[in-house]
Chain A
Amino acid sequence: MERSGDLLPGTFDMLVLKAVSLGDMHGWGIADRIEQLSDGVCAIQQGAVYPVLQRLLRRGWVVAQWKASDNNRRARYYRLTASGRRQLADEIGWWRRSIAGVDRVLSAKPSEA
């Protein structure tokens, strides 16, 4: 299902942050993690993680470092910073509140209007 464009605004940044928070990872690994964890629901264009990573880098929520990867190649690994962790927590809180609100609206019955 190709509906990445339909994610709520800002959601994808949150997913990338979350993916990085699970352990230092390179770009491909992050895209792969998101795809795997969402069971393919959030299978976006993989390249889309790079602009997001640049943005997160600039805001100081992640840092990047070139390291040898598992199969001994050079890969650029990203790691969540303390402020990135706070940001992620904020965004998760915001997400849960939004979802709850949306859900309440969606499960409303005619008599409640």
Chain B
Amino acid sequence: MSWIDAVRQRFRDLLAGERADRDLDEEIAHHIELETERQIRDGLDPAAARAMAHVRFGNRTLISDAARAERGPHLMEGSVQDLSWALRSLRKNAGFTALALVTLVLGIGASTVAFSVFNTVLLRPLPYRDADRLVYIRERNAKGDFRPPSFPNFASWREETRSFAGVAAAMYPYSRTVSASGDAEPERVPVLEVTHGFFSTLGVAPAIGREFTDAEHAPGRPRVAMVSYEFWQNRMAARRPLGTIRLGDAPTPVVGVLPRGFRFFQPADVYLPHEGNPGTVRSSHNYQVIARLKPSATLNAARAEMSAISRALYAAYGTETEATDADVRPLREFVVANYRTLLSIVFGAAALVLLIACTNLVSAQLARGWHREREVVVRAALGASRTRIARQLFLESSLLVGIGTAVAMLAAFGAINAIRVIGGNLVPRLSELSLDARVLEFSIGVALLTAIVVGVYPALRLARRDACQVLRAGRGGTSVRSSVWRALVGFEVALAVMLVIGSALLVRTLRNILSAETGFDSHGIVTAAITPQESDVARFDAVAAGLRAIPGVEGVAFASNLPLQWGAWSGPVRRPSDPKDRDWPAMAGFRVVSPEYFSVLRQPVLRGRAFTTGDRPGAPGVAIITTGIAEKLWPGQDPIGKSIATNYLFNDWLTVVGVVAEASNWSMPHGTQNEIYVPLAQREANVGQQIIALLRTEGRPTAVMTATRAKLREIIPHSPAQIGTIDERIAKSAADRRFAMIALTAFGIIAIVLAAVGIYGVMWYIVSTRTHEIGIRMALGATAARVGRDVLSNAAAMAAIGVGIGLAGGAYAARYLRTSLYGVSQLDPSAYLFGAAATLTVAILAAYVPAWRSSRVDPMEAIRDT
């Protein structure tokens, strides 16, 4: 028994309709027999007795119907029949069914996946308790720029505000060397320092143990730590009690484990109380501040209050802080703000794919309807009502959509799991991706809509056929008007063109980002972030010598942070003539680098000199600045030899010895950031906890990366290194575009495939309805090539209309992409040309098989066949 039979049997058993019919028939037959026998006993002859029995029984059909009506509504029973009919019909046309299912799975699957991404990232509340009460607070300066707050400003806010049930901060995560137990190999893991009440403000309770107490935040207390669930499972072997981990050199008791999957923007493995040694500079920008609104407080009231507090702070500390105002916005808005547009575009693209799928199904149903016309009119002639026929046809397409949806959901489930694993670090919150009730509702809604769109028009059209007309017309019946085909195919092609244009624009954007002019040569630079301990600082030379000995390494330099990595290390710079007040002439990033830095990165020194080994402790303090600072502070003058100070160095005066071009970063609004470089030998104290070794390599960096790891383990065994490449970082910084590009390209390919299937189907249909006509033309002397060419040009004409519309639609829709593009105009002609050419080519290829078939028509057979 095939599975379809099994399904049918199941339905029969469930509803038992047919068995009840058989019972009734048998019962009535028995009744008539008994009555006939009685009439014979009463003296009638058998024939008369039987007639009498029938008379006494009454109208058998009416009574059967009445009895059946007592059993339950007609609808169910008819539906069982219709359902088995629909299943049979779908099975009979396996080719059509398979193609339709593929179309449905692609269409519904794509939109389900896109919606679940949209839902997870943009619609679902953050995974914290009452997350809609959480806000994110930043400083705002006089220019209107948003900045992360400094600790003193955060502390003032926390003290003075009355709008919030809790205000807390975290630093930006950094990495530290941790070993989970005495004998475990140390490794570098991300660490997040938080202020007291951070977790309770977020609304996250530890899975095990407790949050930090206020006492543990007090200065001078020995440190304690909390760890992530994943760290506790993988590194601490899920041990209880939690015991102690080794943080750098210091044994640190673990007091709590966070819930599985917890993250605050980025995942961290170790959480530390911060306030034992908080930041003291009011003008720095290195905290992320969250707060929870009191039940009685509104967002607007909180905004007004925070603004007032910040203005008062500026009045009091204006020389120390540049913050003139505070920006308060819902945390969720902050988390996903950059992704709203891109994800909406991805979602829109999925909707286009679904539209194409529906169009395909409608045209396939219409084309198939032509082959079925005779079947339908014969049924009608035999007494089937029009509603019954329409209902059957509608049921058939609904069944198709139902099966397609079920398969699509399975496919979507797989795709969602894959996206969560691959994309979890590309787009915030994607690690939470899952199917939930809302996604299911959406998909069921989409399926219902699809069933209606796909089922209603073809069903009504077919059911309304006039039997006489169709039967008289012989095989072929009445064909769908060619304008309908033109519209359907054109529509599909137009949508496909739009998607291809979008994906081409994003592909170019990504390529531009990856090859963007950075001001130095990033290709082949391997980076190793290491955390030397006090004793190692003297061993930089040893580290450099060791790394330089690795085959393939051409040069080694050190820097306090990675090139193109901005963030906490920026502050004001000034000339001796500038007053120490709020009007900073320029802001600059601050970097401590070794003498080889510029030569290793191949960042040209435009004026003056690079650092040398002569710039050592005791020698005059020197600095190298970027052209942007030079132009701001000393326009039209030679900056070499001038004095400059930055508040990071407690206003030590430095002599400018060189000028370099800015290293630019595509993600900066203006492309570049000013930098002030100081020599490592003079500023070891300012390096911070980690230092980056930069290795210039020849050839593939992977071998060097492995060798670097081994070498560093040998030189500084207790301090594992984080190894990567700059190109990798640049690629990662474009992750959002990459995600959108992959999605749009995938949808673009699906769209083209679906459009090709649609064109193929329509052309096949047109050729089969015209076999007779083609036969006559060939009999009259048209060559096979001529006939085939006509079919192709017919397809090309339909596609061309669609391409025209698609180009216009693409230009309209590309406006929404504008902010996501880089180095390419939203009206970039090559993208449009590509979209048009690709789609047109595929359209003509798709028409090729039907065209070939038309050229193979045997005129004799075609004419005789009718």
Task: List residues of A whose CB falls within 8 A of some B CB.
Answer: 26-29, 31-32, 45-48, 50-51, 53-55, 58, 64, 66, 69, 73-76
Contacts and interface: CB of A to CB of B under 8 A. Distances in A.
B222 to A, nearest CB: 77
Contacts of B66: 50-51
B29 to A, nearest CB: 10
A26 B23 CA distance: 13
Those 8 A-B pairs whose CB atoms lie nearest each other, nearest first: A45-B58, A54-B70, A47-B63, A47-B58, A51-B66, A28-B34, A28-B31, A47-B57
B320 interface: no
B384 interface: no
Given A54-B67, A73-B33, 8 more contacts: A27-B30, A45-B56, A54-B24, A54-B70, A58-B70, A58-B71, A66-B23, A76-B26
Contacts, number: 68
B57 A45 contact: yes
B31 A46 contact: yes
B30 A46 contact: no
Contact of A51 (B26, B30, B31, B63): B63
B24 A46 contact: no
Contacts of B63: 45, 47-48, 50-51
Contacts of A66: 23
A55 B69 CA distance: 9
A43 B35 CA distance: 14
A51 B69 contact: yes
Contact of B30 (A26, A31, A53, A55): A26
A32 B53 CA distance: 12
A31 B30 CA distance: 13
Nearest to B55: A45
A46 B26 contact: no
Contacts of B64: 50
A74 B26 CA distance: 9
A74 B25 CA distance: 13
Most A-side CB within 10 Å, residue of B57, B59, B60: B57
B536 interface: no
Contact of B27 (A50, A51, A55): A50
Given A46-B35, A46-B56, A47-B58, A73 B67 contact: no
Contacts of A73: 30, 33
Nearest to A64: B23
Contacts of A50: 24, 27-28, 63-64, 66-67
28 contacts: A26-B31, A26-B34, A27-B27, A27-B28, A27-B31, A28-B31, A28-B34, A28-B35, A45-B57, A45-B63, A46-B35, A46-B56, A46-B57, A47-B59, A47-B63, A48-B63, A50-B66, A50-B67, A51-B66, A51-B67, A53-B67, A54-B24, A54-B71, A55-B70, A58-B72, A69-B30, A75-B30, A76-B26
A75 B27 CA distance: 7
Main secondary structure of the interface of B (DSSP, over half): helix
Interface in B10-58: 23-24, 26-28, 30-31, 33-35, 38, 56-58
Contacts of B70: 51, 54-55, 58
Given A45-B57, A46-B35, A76 B67 contact: no
Contacts of A54: 24, 67-68, 70-71
A32 B37 CA distance: 13
A29 B27 CA distance: 12
Interface of B: 23-24, 26-28, 30-31, 33-35, 38, 56-60, 63-64, 66-72
A11 B836 CA distance: 79
A73 B63 CA distance: 23
A35 to B, nearest CB: 9
Contacts of B68: 54
A40 to B, nearest CB: 12
B59 A76 contact: no
B71 A47 contact: no
A55 B66 CA distance: 10
Contacts of B57: 45-47
A76 B69 contact: no
Contacts of A47: 28, 31, 57-60, 63
Most A-side CB within 10 Å, residue of B28, B34, B38, B66: B34
Contacts of B30: 26-28, 69, 73-76
A73 B35 CA distance: 14
B554 to A, nearest CB: 91
Contacts of A27: 27-28, 30-31
Contacts of A55: 70
Nearest to A53: B67
Nearest to A31: B31
A28 B60 CA distance: 14
A27 B53 CA distance: 14
A50 B66 CA distance: 8
Most A-side CB within 10 Å, residue of B27, B38, B64, B71: B27
A57 to B, nearest CB: 8
Contacts of A64: 23
Most A-side CB within 10 Å, residue of B26, B58, B69: B58
B238 to A, nearest CB: 58
Contacts of B28: 27, 47, 50
Contacts of A32: 38
A45 to B, nearest CB: 4
A29 to B, nearest CB: 8
Contacts of A29: 34
A31 B405 CA distance: 53
A74 B27 CA distance: 9
A52 to B, nearest CB: 8
Contacts of A76: 23, 26-27, 30
Nearest to B54: A47
A32 B35 CA distance: 9
Contacts of B58: 45-48
Nearest to B59: A47
B199 to A, nearest CB: 60
Contacts of A74: 26, 30
Contacts of B69: 51
Nearest to B62: A47
Contacts of B67: 50-51, 53-54
Contacts of B59: 47
Nearest to B70: A54
A50 B67 CA distance: 6
A58 to B, nearest CB: 6
Nearest to B30: A75
Contacts of A53: 67
A27 B59 CA distance: 16
A76 B31 CA distance: 10
B37 to A, nearest CB: 9
Contacts of A51: 63, 66-67, 69-70
B40 to A, nearest CB: 13
Contacts of A26: 27, 30-31, 34
A18 to B, nearest CB: 19
Contacts of A58: 70-72
Nearest to A35: B56
A26 B72 CA distance: 22
Contacts of A48: 58, 63
Contacts of A45: 56-58, 63
Most B-side CB within 10 Å, residue of A27, A51, A53: A51
